[in-house]
Amino acid sequence: MKKHKLLPILAFNGIAKNKELYIPYLGAGIFSAFLYFSFDAILRHPVMGTIPRAAYAYAMMLLGFILLHVIMLPFLHYTYRFLIKRRKKEIGLYSILGMEKRHIAMMMVYESIITTVVMVLGGVLLGMVFARLIFLLFFYMQDLPALNDFPFSPGALLDTIIFFTVSAGLNLAYSLYSVGKSSPVELMSSGRRGEKKPRFISMFALFGLILLALGYGMSITAELDSMIFTNFFLAVFLVVIATYFLFTAASVVLLSFLKKRKSFYYKPSNFITVSGMYYRMKRSAAGLVNICVFSTMVIITLTCTAALYFGTDTISSIMYPYDAGLVLEMKHDGSDRQLAEEYVRMKEAAYGMKEEFLYVYPAKSGCFKAEDTGSAYKLGSAEGMSRRSEGIEYIEIITLNEYNRITGESRELADQEVLLYTDGKELNREELYLFEKRYAVKEELMSFPGSFKASENSFNNDYWLVVKDEAALPDQAAELLGEESLRVILSVEGKEEEKEAFAEDLCTGIPAIEYRNFVESELDMRCMCGGLLFIGIFFGLLFTICLLIIMYYKQITEGYEDRENFEIMQKVGMSHEEIRAAIARQVLLVFFIPLFGAVCHTSAAVPMVILLLGAIRLHDSKLIVACCAAVVALFLVFYGISYIMTARTYMKIVERRA
């Protein structure tokens, strides 16, 4: 048979005879191609530019699509490395039998073409079947109108082909280099080399403990401020590095300790387990680190997105406590308040809206540089600084008469007394200084018209100050605040579409200094949270697939390496039951050590996750903890199933019945 016909046959036979290796690899590739094609097809759907809140929906999908590139490329390469490692012995045999390296290279090219075609074809076919369902799910989670039309996207097909061709090309280049630089003897003996005991174990352990303590400490002691997101990623980086050092050092220390305990080590099942793991200690540590990190990523990703989705009502209550608001210029004759009320009620009647509440009052507002001394709160000029700069607070000042009028209360204040309210955590300060003028805080209010109180929030809060009258303000504050403006705040009952149209008309039907259409903002926020949950679910699935593939290949690779060792043990008298016990113990350690690490990392991360979600106004720690517990429980079920399946496969490989 001619060589150009033989090589494709050898490539196909190589895949077929190594189905235990290629089926998981092809399955992961098909699932990846399915996700890639589906995301791309949704992004290219014509309706994405016309639906309400299309910008948010498109942004969510685009974010997910970019992350797919970042995750899939290294994942596909990582899994491909397992294949090449297992195939090296077979390739070395071809070389010994006389096949030239250029022919081996061509055979590997054919294998790469076959696997890429299977992945792309399988992924696109799945996409054609399920992409419409994903499209509907995406719209449902974002409260967008459902659409039935989902045409096939040639552009998405082309993008999928290009991406997986590039990925296959990179993998092929790696395999050609890896095989090409090795001699046939090296290829035949690959995977049979033990590893030397890593050096500087004590330093590794100490360094890992220090980094882990720093990472955990940052999470547990973190505060909700402008650095919370930076601190989160720094803590993640520290914990990942610490996990690698600790797993490497701890595994060596533990295995060395067990080897010295002769009463333990020289029992058959213990001897096999300890010696097998000691034989490949660094490689085992790296695999365990990957499993631990991916497990943590799955749990944290799903926890955050689920908590955001189920906490949408809490977020909207804090961020959008009313439906619409206007800031109008004040007229000197005082008729503007009545005119504003008449205008709002005219619009309510036109749209058939039932009013929940309406507050119309004059107030002054501005930004102040804040300094908290512990017993007093000092406010000064913030000239040249933005509203959300560090140490800058937005404060609205209203007179006592207006406060009593809109609340129906009858409070009294002295000239140098104030009422203080914040929509976040209470200040609990007895004194307040406004441009060096001292005020006694008579009471810190727990509610204010048109605001929602979130006592857990200590980040980016707004403040309201009730003074006796304008004369009670210092000259510098009066100059900074300028003229009074009229606040119009209202909420109505009705269907979301009707409220949105009403708020839009209200906010565009009268000249105003500022418009606040919180109905539209709330719908946008719900759309964003739904999109994040959608992306979180699919990336959770992708991370889980990555995790399962890593665990599977780790066990398969080690199973083939251990098979000869177990056969020798049986030949020298080790029973079948002892073999099974040793195998079960080894697989159990490999699976549940990283799981224990993932649970520890997740537990330490929960305080910082609560703060992260608090930064976007989700102040419901019980909901976040409940979501985390549910995700962990669900993950344990999948992890247990994967353990059972992988243990059976490993057992079949290494077990030899008499």
Boundary (domain end) residue, out of 170, 193, 216 = 193
> 141-150, 429-438, 453-462, 483-492 — which is least confidently predicted?
141-150
Instruction: Judge whether 236 lies within some domain.
Output: yes
Do the beta carbons of residue 277 and residue 252 sit within 8 Å? no
Q: Are residues 189 and 232 in the same domain?
A: no
Instruction: Judge whether 649 lies within some domain.
Output: yes
More confident: 372 or 169: 169
Q: Are residues 237 and 133 in the same domain?
A: no
DSSP string, 331-390: PTTS-HHHHHHHHHHHHHHHHTPEEEEEEEEEEEEEEEEEEE-SSEEEEEE-TT--TTST
Q: Is 465 helix (H, G, I), strand (E, B) or coil?
A: strand
The model's confidence at residue 627, banded by pLDDT at 50, 70 and 90, is very high
Instruction: Supply the pLDDT for residue 166.
Output: 92
CA 102 – CA 118 distance, rounded (Å): 24
Q: What is the mean pLDDT of residues 185-189?
A: 58
Q: What is the mean pLDDT of residues 162-169?
A: 91
Q: Are residues 570 and 593 in the same domain?
A: yes
**Residue 256 one-letter amino acid:** S
Instruction: Supply the pLDDT for residue 50.
Output: 57
Q: Are residues 182 and 211 in the same domain?
A: no
Q: Where would I find the H helices in 420-517? A: 475-481, 496-508
Instruction: Give the angle 33-555-196 at the CA atoms, nearest 5°.
Output: 120
Instruction: Judge whether 327 lies within some domain.
Output: no
Boundary (domain end) residue, out of 193, 224, 241 = 193
Residue 352 C-alpha from the chain's centroid: 42
Instruction: Supply the pLDDT for residue 658.
Output: 37
pLDDT above 70 covers a percentage of the chain that reads: 77
Instruction: Supply the pLDDT for residue 657.
Output: 45
Instruction: Supply the pLDDT for residue 121.
Output: 93
Instruction: Supply the pLDDT for residue 274.
Output: 67
Q: Are residues 185 and 256 in the same domain?
A: no
Instruction: Judge whether 331 lies within some domain.
Output: no
Strands 324-329 and 431-434: unpaired
Residue with tokens 């406004």: 434
Q: Are residues 172 and 222 in the same domain?
A: no
Q: Kindly tell me if the per-residue pLDDT of 615 is higher than 80.
A: no
DSSP string, 73-88: HHHHHHHHHHHHHHHH
Residues with Cβ within 8 Å of residue 53, at least 6 apart in sequence: 142, 144, 523, 524, 527
Instruction: Supply the pLDDT for residue 633.
Output: 92
Kindly report the number of other CB atoms within 10 A of residue 48's CB atom: 15
545-601 confidence digits (pLDDT tens): 777 777 777 777 767 766 766 666 666 666 667 666 766 676 676 677 888 888 999
Q: Are residues 186 and 208 in the same domain?
A: no
Do the beta carbons of residue 580 and residue 272 sit within 8 Å? no
Q: What is the mean pLDDT of residues 335-346?
A: 84
Instruction: Judge whether 650 lies within some domain.
Output: yes
Q: Kindly tell me if the per-residue pLDDT of 640 is higher than 90.
A: no
Q: Kindly tell me if the per-residue pLDDT of 251 is higher than 90.
A: no
Strand-pairing partners, residue 328, are: 486
40-84 confidence digits (pLDDT tens): 887 787 666 555 555 656 666 777 778 778 778 877 887 787 777
Q: Kindly tell me if the per-residue pLDDT of 1 is higher than 50.
A: no
Residues with Cβ within 8 Å of residue 480, at least 6 apart in sequence: 366, 368, 381, 383
> 290-299, 394-403, 546-555 — which is least confidently predicted?
546-555
Q: Kindly tell me if the per-residue pLDDT of 150 is higher than 70.
A: no
Q: Which residue in 556, 570, 553 sits closest to 655, CA to CA?
A: 570
Instruction: Judge whether 317 lies within some domain.
Output: yes
495-537 confidence digits (pLDDT tens): 888 888 888 888 887 888 888 888 888 877 777 777 777 777 7
**Residue 387 one-letter amino acid:** R
CA 310 – CA 259 distance, rounded (Å): 51
Q: Where would I find the H helices in 181-267? A: 184-189, 201-221, 228-260, 262-265
Do the beta carbons of residue 278 and residue 253 sit within 8 Å? no
Cα separations in angstroms, 476 against 445, 469, 472: 25, 15, 12
> 27-31, 186-190, 315-319, 352-356 — which is least confidently predicted?
186-190
Q: Are residues 160 and 223 in the same domain?
A: no
DSSP string, 91-114: HHHHHHTT--HHHHHHHHHHHHHH
Q: Are residues 142 and 14 in the same domain?
A: yes
94-118 confidence digits (pLDDT tens): 677 667 777 777 888 888 888 899 9
Q: What is the mean pLDDT of residues 319-341?
A: 79
Boundary (domain end) residue, out of 147, 162, 193 = 193
Instruction: Supply the pLDDT for residue 461.
Output: 79
Do the beta carbons of residue 466 and residue 418 sit within 8 Å? yes
Instruction: Supply the pLDDT for residue 324.
Output: 87
Do the beta carbons of residue 89 and residue 182 sit within 8 Å? no
More confident: 78 or 226: 78
Instruction: Judge whether 326 lies within some domain.
Output: no
Residue with tokens 């191609």: 33
Q: What is the mean pLDDT of residues 627-647?
A: 85
Do the beta carbons of residue 82 and residue 557 sit within 8 Å? yes
Domain limits at 126? 1-193
Q: Are residues 445 and 526 in the same domain?
A: no
Q: Are residues 230 and 249 in the same domain?
A: yes
More confident: 35 or 599: 599
Strands 376-381 and 431-434: parallel
Burial class from Cβ neighbours inside 10 Å (0-12, 13-18, 19+) for residue 281 reads buried
CA 174 – CA 88 distance, rounded (Å): 13
Instruction: Judge whether 243 lies within some domain.
Output: yes
CA 618 – CA 384 distance, rounded (Å): 31
Instruction: Supply the pLDDT for residue 134.
Output: 75
403-452 confidence digits (pLDDT tens): 999 888 888 988 888 898 988 888 888 888 888 888 888 888 888 888 88
More confident: 325 or 533: 325
Q: Is 39 helix (H, G, I), strand (E, B) or coil?
A: helix
**Residue 658 one-letter amino acid:** A
Mean residue pLDDT across the chain = 78
CA 506 – CA 503 distance, rounded (Å): 5
114-146 confidence digits (pLDDT tens): 889 999 999 899 888 877 777 777 777 666 666
Q: How many structural domains does the chain have?
A: 3
Classify the C-alpha dihedral 386-392-396-399 as positive or negative.
negative
Q: Are residues 36 and 179 in the same domain?
A: yes
